Structure 1
Amino acid sequence: MATRGRFRLVLTGGTGMVAMLMVGGTAGCTVGGGGKLAAGNSGEPMTITPANGTAQVKPDGTIQVKAADGKLQKVTVQGEGATITGKFGDDRKTWSSTRTMTPGTSYTVTAQARDDGKTRTVTSSFTTLKAAQTLSIVDVTPNVEGEKVGVGMPIIVRFDRPVTDKAAVERALRVKPDKPVEGAWRWVAPDQVIYRTKTYWQPHQKVAFHATLAGVNAGGGVYGAKDAQATLHIGAAQITTGDMRKHHMTVTRDGEKLRTIPFSAGNGQTREYTTTSGVHLLMGKGNPVTMTAPGRKPGDPGYYKTVVDHAVRFSNSGEFVHSAPWSVGSQGSANVSHGCINVSPANARWYYDIMQRGDVIKLTGTDREVEWDNGWGYWQLSFDKWRQGSALG
């Protein structure tokens, strides 16, 4: 068979070494093996970085493919780790990965280029560095399968260790609602970051959370171990508004009034017994819940221990909407509680049954404002103040 030409393949590794492979070609021949020309005719080389056989590739490195002549048709990256995406550039003469890789993983890059009607294929297999320390997400709230949440719901992400390079990690966090709205992350602890929107979520939609964390350099020699994802199901827009001077609260759903409920709030004799004003979120519920006087033990002045039914929490300072049959006579006319919102057993059961975590409850009428970091009081901050807690400015 007559020889028609010779082909050259150059694979450039992250260490700067270049492997030159001279292949004798004949018309229609196929040369197998990783990193070798699989099909084609003559032409200038394609290069893949990292080169075939390279080990200890940094997970936050970039895969690059270049075609000296012709155009790249297709580039795929296969491996058991994170799915690697990329984009073409320079009129499809180049391709670069657009995300990081999973530590300690083998990947194979397959690139096809077409020149003068001929297609050629090159492959390169390499392994990434196995990180001594990794970073993982251990909890995303809300995290209950199929749960519908309210329009004020934050996304709370907690990691398994403190994050050194918060900006790098925050760049890997994506939030995509079906109905777009502006939002921002705020770091509240070295191992916890929270997402809040500028305005409430639109009701009746899904919100996708995706952390492309695998391979992210989180600082101090720590790399992201794996990606994480979650889906929020935003339910109806249930908003409760109450004035503690008028002792009534109104509950609406998607703008329509459901019920007006008489209540009794904190008696205000001390700061502890003053119900907080401001924008709260419903955080959870229990039936029954045992309530005790904070910071007091049996025998101390002011000590109490009471079991209540159908309790819905709205702060971390012991505030609930709950059943209080003992104060029905004051509900709608006077504030006599230790700080909770007392309602009748029937109203408490109804409120308990319809509540969604993340529902908004706005209370007015006292001089004690809920702190933004008391429970989920995040809406107490303006959005400009909120996003000042982002590592990205």
Structure 2
Amino acid sequence: MGMFARAGAMVGALGLVASLALTGCGTEQKKNAQFVGGTAPATSAAPDASGTPAEPGTPAAPSGPPLTVSPADGGKNRPVSSEISAEVPGGGKVSSVTLTTANGSRVEGRLRADGSSWVPSKPLKYGTRYTATVTATGSDGVTSQGTSTFTTMAKPKSVISSGLYLFDDKTYGVAMPVVTEFHPGIPKKDRAAVQRRMFVQTDPPQPGAWHWVANGTQAYYRAPEYWKPGTTLTVRIALAGIPLSNGRYGNVDRTATAKIGQAFEMKVDNATKKMTVYEDGQVVRTLPVSLGKKKTPSSSGTMVVMEKKESTVFDTRDDPDPANRYVTEIDFAQRLTWGGEYIHAAPWSEHVQGRQNVSHGCVNVSMANARWLFGKTKVGDPITIKGTERTLAPGNGWTAWSLTWSEFVKGSAVPVPEAGEGSPF
């Protein structure tokens, strides 16, 4: 309802705090997400140095020169975000990686899709010694192996705070971006390294890309088009222990597995002051609306429902303009921006809905229509508003869809293939 004023920060090294605070509204929501991901890489039978097939499930006996493994043998104070890699000459590829602790316990993980490194499925432990054994096969069929024993660093004192706005076992709308948040923001020089540790897998497979908000406090991941209904999103923001150039380290890994539900979309045209509602691409209802008046216009652009509250209080007494200060009980509120724009019931404006804009930036609908919408929508459902006096500001809400795909990929810290990135594994 008010002008742009972000409330709440993502804080905490022990658990995710996702705060969607109502602007001037005195209520907020906190949730936690937990997920354990990753599988151990498979090994396959291969001939030993004499050409005799090995037992099934055992790695091939090395016959080529030793590999140089990273982290280097004898390395100390290595980040717990370390990945295992090796220099493989002659265009060869790593075929298996084994990582164990000093007591012989095996660490699970998997190779990246491009074979560049092997990623542990969980952060390594601080102050712990590990031994990595890497086996690779050259283009000539020669098998090589290398071993490295290294020790991780002590737990750092200076860390960033981070958040993931996605939660286990929840169902979201087709426009739900994967949203990460950082405090303080990630410096530009670190974003490529951080982005390579932000893993998204989709089932069925769909390409996607990351986009950083200018100050580095948020990054969004989306596909070229809305997600297919029924998609499963598996996300790991693997930042625990990753070193940054400002002397800080990532605090924790954030993980979640969630579903995408039925396609539900809202489109609002200021010219007609109508909202057209679609389910699975078919028009199901048209609703009269009242948008923001000229002094407090609604934002034009594509937004997503960020939060839903059946009842709440809008409190804008801290607004610099006395004319915009009020305390009002609100029913069926659905947040669209950090700046305070919502879809909500507005019985006081029903007599002008469909004809005149009188709100402070929100999408006003009748009590009956607000109740119906509230029962239909999910967090992540898209709403597009057009024809108002203000354009949606980047970062004012989950603005991943306010850009075309070609514009969106320009915000990635690493080059993006034309079709988008595939699965990292």
- Letter matched to residue 202 of structure 1: K
Q: 1: CA distance between counterparts of 2:259 and 2:331?
A: 27
- Letter matched to residue 268 of structure 2: G
**Secondary structure of 1:379's partner?**
helix
Could you tell me which residue of structure 2 aligns to residue 169 of structure 1? Answer: 194
- Letter matched to residue 366 of structure 2: S
CA displacement, residues 15-55 of structure 1 (integer Å, 9 cap, x when unaligned): xxxxxxxxxxxxxxxxxxxxxxxxxx9x9997886899946
Q: 1: CA distance between counterparts of 2:74 and 2:379?
A: 50
Task: Please state how far the C-alpha of 1:231 moved relative to its aligned partner.
Answer: 1.8
- Letter matched to residue 209 of structure 1: V
Could you tell me which residue of structure 2 aligns to residue 229 of structure 1? Answer: 255
Task: Please state how far the C-alpha of 1:318 moved relative to its aligned partner.
Answer: 2.5
Does structure 1 residue 349 correspond to structure 2 residue 371? Answer: yes
Native 8 Å contact 1:214 1:226 kept in 2 = yes
Ranges in structure 2 where 5+ consecutive residues have no aligned partner: 1-60, 89-93, 137-144, 416-425
Q: 1: CA distance between counterparts of 2:315 and 2:71?
A: 66
- Letter matched to residue 240 of structure 1: M
Task: Please state how far the C-alpha of 1:345 moved relative to its aligned partner.
Answer: 1.2
**Secondary structure of 1:169's partner?**
helix
Could you tell me which residue of structure 1 aligns to residue 380 of structure 2? Answer: 358
Q: 1: CA distance between counterparts of 2:178 and 2:372?
A: 27
Could you tell me which residue of structure 2 aligns to residue 310 of structure 1? Answer: 332
Task: Please state how far the C-alpha of 1:301 moved relative to its aligned partner.
Answer: 4.4
**Secondary structure of 2:220's partner?**
strand
Does structure 1 residue 130 correspond to structure 2 residue 154? Answer: yes
Q: 1: CA distance between counterparts of 2:403 and 2:381?
A: 17
Q: 2: CA distance between counterparts of 1:81 and 1:161?
A: 35
Native 8 Å contact 1:372 1:381 kept in 2 = no
Native 8 Å contact 1:50 1:64 kept in 2 = yes
Matches within 5 A, 1:1-393: 54=74, 56=76, 58-59=78-79, 60=82, 62=84, 76-79=98-101, 83-85=108-110, 98-99=118-119, 102=124, 103-109=126-132, 126-130=150-154, 132-133=156-157, 135=159, 138-143=162-167, 145-159=168-182, 162-164=185-187, 165-178=190-203, 179-214=205-240, 216-220=242-246, 222=248, 224=250, 227-266=253-292, 268=293, 270-272=294-296, 274-293=297-316, 295-296=318-319, 300-301=322-323, 303-393=325-415
Compared with structure 1, are the counterparts of its residues 131 and 361 closer, same or farther at alpha carbon in structure 2 (3 Å cutoff)?
A: same
Compared with structure 1, are the counterparts of its residues 55 and 243 closer, same or farther at alpha carbon in structure 2 (3 Å cutoff)?
A: closer
Compared with structure 1, are the counterparts of its residues 237 and 110 closer, same or farther at alpha carbon in structure 2 (3 Å cutoff)?
A: same
**Secondary structure of 2:192's partner?**
helix
Q: 1: CA distance between counterparts of 2:119 and 2:311?
A: 48
**Secondary structure of 1:218's partner?**
coil
Task: Please state how far the C-alpha of 1:280 moved relative to its aligned partner.
Answer: 1.8
Native 8 Å contact 2:267 2:383 kept in 1 = yes
Q: How big is the alpha-carbon RMSD for the aligned residues of Structure 1 and Structure 2?
A: 4.2
Q: 2: CA distance between counterparts of 1:308 and 1:153?
A: 25
Native 8 Å contact 1:262 1:332 kept in 2 = yes
Task: Please state how far the C-alpha of 1:153 moved relative to its aligned partner.
Answer: 1.4
Compared with structure 1, are the counterparts of its residues 188 and 63 closer, same or farther at alpha carbon in structure 2 (3 Å cutoff)?
A: same
Q: Which moved more, 1:125-134 or 1:346-355?
A: 125-134
- Letter matched to residue 83 of structure 1: E
Q: 2: CA distance between counterparts of 1:192 and 1:243?
A: 29
Q: 1: CA distance between counterparts of 2:291 and 2:67?
A: 72
CA displacement, residues 140-197 of structure 1 (integer Å, 9 cap, x when unaligned): 1123x32211111121213465534221111111211113133223144344322233
Compared with structure 1, are the counterparts of its residues 78 and 319 closer, same or farther at alpha carbon in structure 2 (3 Å cutoff)?
A: same
Compared with structure 1, are the counterparts of its residues 247 and 134 closer, same or farther at alpha carbon in structure 2 (3 Å cutoff)?
A: same
Compared with structure 1, are the counterparts of its residues 214 and 105 closer, same or farther at alpha carbon in structure 2 (3 Å cutoff)?
A: farther
Task: Please state how far the C-alpha of 1:211 moved relative to its aligned partner.
Answer: 3.3
CA displacement, residues 326-352 of structure 1 (integer Å, 9 cap, x when unaligned): 222222333333332222211111111
Q: 2: CA distance between counterparts of 1:337 and 1:44?
A: 73
Task: Please state how far the C-alpha of 1:361 moved relative to its aligned partner.
Answer: 0.9
Native 8 Å contact 2:289 2:363 kept in 1 = yes
**Secondary structure of 1:189's partner?**
coil
**Secondary structure of 1:287's partner?**
strand
Ranges in structure 1 where 5+ consecutive residues have no aligned partner: 1-40, 67-71, 88-94, 114-120
Native 8 Å contact 1:186 1:195 kept in 2 = no
Native 8 Å contact 1:319 1:341 kept in 2 = yes
Task: Please state how far the C-alpha of 1:258 moved relative to its aligned partner.
Answer: 2.5
Task: Please state how far the C-alpha of 1:240 moved relative to its aligned partner.
Answer: 0.5
CA displacement, residues 62-114 of structure 1 (integer Å, 9 cap, x when unaligned): 56599xxxxx9965222479634459xxxxxxx9953477242232446899x
Compared with structure 1, are the counterparts of its residues 105 and 292 closer, same or farther at alpha carbon in structure 2 (3 Å cutoff)?
A: same
Number of positions where the alignment pairs a residue of Structure 1 with one of Structure 2: 336
Task: Please state how far the C-alpha of 1:137 moved relative to its aligned partner.
Answer: 6.4
Native 8 Å contact 1:135 1:218 kept in 2 = no
Taking only the aligned residue pairs, the percentage that are identical comes to 32
TM-score of the superposition, structure 2-length normalised?
0.65
